[in-house]
Amino acid sequence: MDDRLKKVIDESENIVFFGGAGVSTESNIPDFRSESGLYHAQQKYGNSPETMLSHTFYKNNTEMFFKYYKENLIYPEAQPNDAHKALAKLEQTGKLKAVITQNIDGLHQKAGSVNVYELHGSVLRNFCERCGKSYDVDYIMDEAHCKHGIPHCECGGIIKPDVVLYEEMLNENCIQGAVDAISKADTMIIGGTSLVVYPAAGLINYFQGKNLVLINKTQTPYDGKASLVIYDSIGKVMRLE
């Protein structure tokens, strides 16, 4: 682990981690805004990820929505990387109280993290819009359960991923839990996020603690507020020997 980060962690007693898509790029899941991210790679759809993943697009172009969603947001083979693993270990020591993530890939839990606030939901959970029955990701990916690529429930309703689409509200309990954890923390470690997606990025303003650490490959609008900024790969920075 980076020495500067280790020193901060050693001095802290109540840490929260806040992360985004950059936490999972080392697990081979592309983010949105990096060179290799979905913004740059997806010209073939003619629309930005924000349009393709909006509530309006889901309602009006459901078949296209699921084509994009299945091709770009589901990574069944992805495994937790060194950052996910280090955070799970840090929670076990009692110092890390919560992971707050914008990611929808479930990799923090796969690494062993328990107290995880998934601000934007999870691709692993899916619900029938008509009867509410829940389905796992394998079910919705199986063409046998789809009509024109759109997953259908046994009752005939469309199955919607439990993912917060653009234009949709974040879950209130989830936001409240995240705000509580951030407000109590003496240290907030932020990693792998461009900090431009709201309201998620605005949660930083609830932090009143001493150490604000930013770990990102590129600059963010909040760098000036941080007590420590590390421009590097988060897996490398957090890796435990």
CB of 48 to ligand NAD, least distance (A): 11
- Cβ count near 210 (within 10 Å): 13
Q: Rank residues 42 and 233 by Cβ distance to ligand NAD and give the closer one.
A: 233
Matching residue, tokens 């992360």: 19
Task: Report the distance separating Cα 61 and Cα 56, nearest Å.
Answer: 8
Q: Which 8-state DSSP code applies to residue 130?
A: T
Marked catalytic residue, from 40, 120, 145, 152: 120
Under the binding rule (CB under 6 A), the answer on residue 52 touching ligand NAD is no
Task: Report the distance separating Cα 43 and Cα 49, nearest Å.
Answer: 10
Residue 120: active-site member: yes
Task: Report the distance separating Cα 100 and Cα 19, nearest Å.
Answer: 6
Annotated ligand binding at 153? The verdict is yes
**DSSP E strands: which ranges in the chain?**
15-19, 96-101, 116-118, 121-128, 134-135, 146-147, 150-151, 159-163, 187-191, 211-215, 228-230
> Contacting ligand NAD (CB under 6 A), which of 1, 2, 14, 37?
37
What is the contact mask toward ligand NAD in residues 108 to 147, using x (rule: CB under 6 A)? ------------x---------------------------
Size of the site for ligand NAD (CB under 6 A): 27
- Cβ count near 56 (within 10 Å): 12
CB of 100 to ligand NAD, least distance (A): 11
Residues 177-216 that bind ligand NAD (CB under 6 A): 192-194, 197, 216
Starting at the edge strand found earlier in the chain, the sheet holding 116-118 runs 116-118, 96-101, 15-19, 187-191, 211-215, 228-230
> Contacting ligand NAD (CB under 6 A), which of 95, 125, 217, 225?
217
Q: Rank residues 28 and 176 by Cβ distance to ligand NAD and give the closer one.
A: 28
CB of 96 to ligand NAD, least distance (A): 18
Under the binding rule (CB under 6 A), the answer on residue 36 touching ligand NAD is no
Q: Rank residues 37 and 209 by Cβ distance to ligand NAD and give the closer one.
A: 37
Q: Name the binding residues for nicotinamide.
A: 32, 104-105
